[in-house]
Amino acid sequence: MTKQKDIIFIKDDIPSNVQDNTIFNITTKDVNPYTHGFHKYPAKFIPQIPKWAIKKYLDGHKHKTVFDPFCGSGTTLVESNISGNNAIGIDIDPLSALISKVKTTSINEDLLNKIVDWVIKEMSSNCEGTFIPSIPTLNHWFTDEAIKKLSKIRTIIDNVPVVFGQETSVKDIQDLLFICFSSIIRRTSNADNESHKTYVSHTKIKVPEEVNMLFLNQLNYFKERIIEFSRVKDKGINSKVIISSSSKSLDETINNHHIDLAITSPPYIKAVDYIYNQMAELFWIGDLFEMQTQTLQNKKKTHYIGNKLIPKQEYINFNPYKNVTNISELDSKIQQIFDVDSKNGHKHSYITYKYFVEMEKHFEEMAKCLNKNTHYVMVVGNSKVSNIFIDTSNFLIDIARRHRFDLVNIWGYEIKNRFMRFNRNGRGGIIKIDWVMDFIKK
């Protein structure tokens, strides 16, 4: 088990040299500088981590390439671009990839002002929206007033290329508008704002926020932040976001690109169900990714690492005494889950086993991507499965070593400002510490 030292309070920046097993409580004036705050996203890690790694290992050099194989909402990519470096990100989730793309794409300021002014003018017009989500339960999730206003905004965004042309610069701004639109959906819905699952509470009745005012405020925020980011980002650097599974063929996916530093935060065991979490948003923009219905969403999520939605036929023949990881302590934990949890032990032990098998495949692929002496900084939280503690960070260290990654250091930080303040009722627990593992490829 990871040994924990006394908590050290620091402000803003993490010191370059950190002692093993140090735990930080990090305070900062602005947790979402530049485009970091564009879209709420569950279980994302803080910008200070990639900022620390980039400063420590790129040592002020510019135009290097930083790679995040589980890029999520783009925290690493934004920090890479701000520091004057190229960024490559991969994520299996299309909405996450679009958020990352928008957060790292420089925008033509004059064109942005022109399109935003047009959007605002269209919103005040008498025209009606034509876009309606293709789900039969729409009125369960949204009021009639919200549906009408959201439909109008979505229709206006759809018409941006019709009015302003098909150029890439216009498409980039349209994508910005889609993410701005998506960022208000949960708050304008009947669904609880803070649950990691999208559901309408019958005990805690919610009053949805008014659509138009919320969108206009958010649009102003997006406009200010993307302009600020675009002015800071070096025009000579690039960012690329790829929608792909992060567990296979990474070297081919990134086209054998030279990587100078890798930074990521992979999913946890029994990970937050990102699609379920973003279900309300996907009702309104899921058609962009062929994920507009729950059936299509469920089909997509079966490919996610850490996914809990596993049919019985997939694990029916799994036996933790025969199917092993060859890490004795981990195999013992998986067997314990299987034996102790009479209700879900079979499924949960398989989920845990599968998670580490997939992460082993990931390290195998990363070994092909990184040259000797390249650092790989990975952030992960430990978990409870069937109320049994899983020391995820230490098990990943064991797996990494099998693929020529040596551990340089491990330290942690307290998780604060949670987007989703939920308790998993002992099934997964609230993760209090994220562990930062600093590997080097040998």
Q: How far apart are CA 284 and CA 185, in angstroms?
A: 8
Token duo for residue 345: 């032990």
Q: Are residues 388 and 420 in the same domain?
A: yes
Instruction: Give the pLDDT of residue 12.
Output: 78
Q: Are residues 197 and 247 in the same domain?
A: no
The type of residue at 69 is P
Q: Are residues 82 and 169 in the same domain?
A: no
Residue 231 CB-density burial (10 A; 0-12 exposed, 13-18 middle, 19+ buried): exposed
| Within a domain: 293 | no
* Cβ neighbours of residue 96 closer than 8 Å, sequence gap 6 or more: 41, 71, 72, 73, 74, 274
Dump pLDDT digits (tens) for 106-138.
Answer: 999 999 999 999 999 999 999 999 999 989 999
What does DSSP say about strands 239-243 and 86-91: parallel, antiparallel, or unpaired?
Answer: parallel
Q: Are residues 266 and 224 in the same domain?
A: no
Q: How far apart are CA 337 and CA 383, in angstroms?
A: 13
Q: For tokens 């302590």, what's the residue?
A: 329
| Within a domain: 289 | no
* Cβ neighbours of residue 226 closer than 8 Å, sequence gap 6 or more: 35, 102, 107, 112, 176
Q: Are residues 181 and 162 in the same domain?
A: yes
Q: Are residues 175 and 44 in the same domain?
A: no
| Residue 243 CA neighbour count, 13 Å, CB half | 11
Q: Are residues 145 and 41 in the same domain?
A: no
| Within a domain: 286 | no
Question: Which one of 209, 232, 255 terminates a domain?
Answer: 232
User: Kindly report the CA angle at 74 between 278 and 254, in degrees rounded to 5?
Assistant: 110
Q: Are residues 417 and 316 in the same domain?
A: yes
Q: Are residues 387 and 253 in the same domain?
A: yes
Q: For tokens 């029916």, what's the residue?
A: 316
Q: Are residues 100 and 118 in the same domain?
A: no
Q: Total structural domains in the chain? A: 2
* Average pLDDT score, the chain: 90
Instruction: Give the pLDDT of residue 245.
Output: 67
Residue 143 CB-density burial (10 A; 0-12 exposed, 13-18 middle, 19+ buried): middle
Q: What is the 3-state secondary structure (H, E, C) of the chain?
A: CCCCCCEEEEECCCCCCCCCCCEEEEECCCCCCCCCCCCCCCCCCCCHHHHHHHHHHHCCCCCCEEEECCCCCCHHHHHHHHCCCEEEEEECCHHHHHHHHHHCCCCCHHHHHHHHHHHHHHHCCCCCCCCCCCCCCHHHHCCHHHHHHHHHHHHHHHCHHHHHCCCHHHHHHHHHHHHHHHHHHHHHCCCCCCCCCCCCCCCCCCCCCCHHHHHHHHHHHHHHHHHHHHHHCCCCCCEEEEECCCCCCHHHHCCCCCCCEEEECCCCCCCCCHHHHCHHHHHHHHHHCCCCCHHHHHHHHCCCCCCCCCCHHHHCCCCCCCCCCCCHHHHHHHHHHHHHCCCCHHHHHHHHHHHHHHHHHHHHHHHHHCCCCCEEEEEEECEEECCEEECHHHHHHHHHHCCCEEEEEEEEEECCCCCCCCCCCCCCCCCCEEEEEEEEEC
Q: Are residues 122 and 208 in the same domain?
A: yes
Q: State the residue range of the domain holding 421.
A: 7-104+233-271+306-441
Question: Which one of 232, 253, 280 terminates a domain?
Answer: 232
Closest C-alpha among 413, 412, 439, 441 to residue 21: 412
| Within a domain: 299 | no
**Alpha-carbon torsion, ordered 391, 395, 396, 399, to 10 deg:** -170
| Within a domain: 282 | no
Instruction: Give the pLDDT of residue 198.
Output: 84
Residues of the chain where predicted confidence (pLDDT) is lower than 50: 1, 418-428
| Within a domain: 284 | no
| Within a domain: 342 | yes
Q: What predicted TM-score, i.e. pTM, was given to this entire model?
A: 0.92
User: Kindly report the CA angle at 244 between 400 and 327, in degrees rounded to 5?
Assistant: 20
Residue 312 CB-density burial (10 A; 0-12 exposed, 13-18 middle, 19+ buried): exposed
Q: Are residues 216 and 126 in the same domain?
A: yes
| Within a domain: 290 | no
The CATH number of the domain holding residue 57 is 3.40.50.150
Question: Which one of 216, 232, 248 terminates a domain?
Answer: 232
Token duo for residue 24: 């930080």
